[in-house]
């Protein structure tokens, strides 16, 4: 239970931090997420939208499809996948290493 709470808190923090990079008015934040994170992101997403006024445009896909999508050039403001996949994105130059946060 504690691990789930820490994961939910990390996702929430990542979304809030990404909102700080947006302009002063409400923005749409594009999120790509693996299916395993769907329940957490949906729950926290509603709270995030209410608290910030920003809108989340979330796409959930199986992990393999999410990885292929990013590798093919798809972009997003936030990508939430297991760390191994993220390390591959950093190595391939798809993600800026300093922007990666472990959940």
CA–CA gap between residue 15 and residue 55 (Å, rounded)? 11
CA–CA gap between residue 54 and residue 20 (Å, rounded)? 11
Closest CA to 8 of 54, 50, 42: 42
Predicted TM-score (pTM) of this structure: 0.70
User: Mind listing the pLDDT tens digit for each residue in 4-47?
Assistant: 445 545 555 555 555 554 445 778 999 999 998 898 889 889 99
Which value, to the nearest 10 degrees, does the dihedral of the CA atoms of residues 68, 74, 77, 83 take? 20
- Report yes or no: 17 and 10 within 8 Å, Cβ to Cβ: no
Beta bridge partners of 59: 32
Helix (H, G, I), strand (E, B), or coil: what is residue 29?
strand
């Amino acid at each position: 239970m504690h691990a789930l709470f820490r994961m939910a808190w990390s996702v929430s923090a990542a979304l809030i931090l990404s909102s700080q990079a947006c302009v002063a008015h409400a923005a749409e934040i594009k999120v790509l997420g693996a299916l395993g994170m769907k329940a957490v992101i949906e729950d926290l997403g509603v709270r995030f939208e209410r608290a910030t006024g920003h809108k989340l445009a979330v796409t959930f896909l199986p992990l393999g499809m999410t990885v292929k999508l990013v590798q093919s050039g798809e972009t997003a403001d936030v990508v939430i996948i297991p760390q191994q996949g993220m390390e591959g994105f950093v190595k391939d130059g798809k993600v800026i290493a300093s922007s990666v946060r472990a959940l």
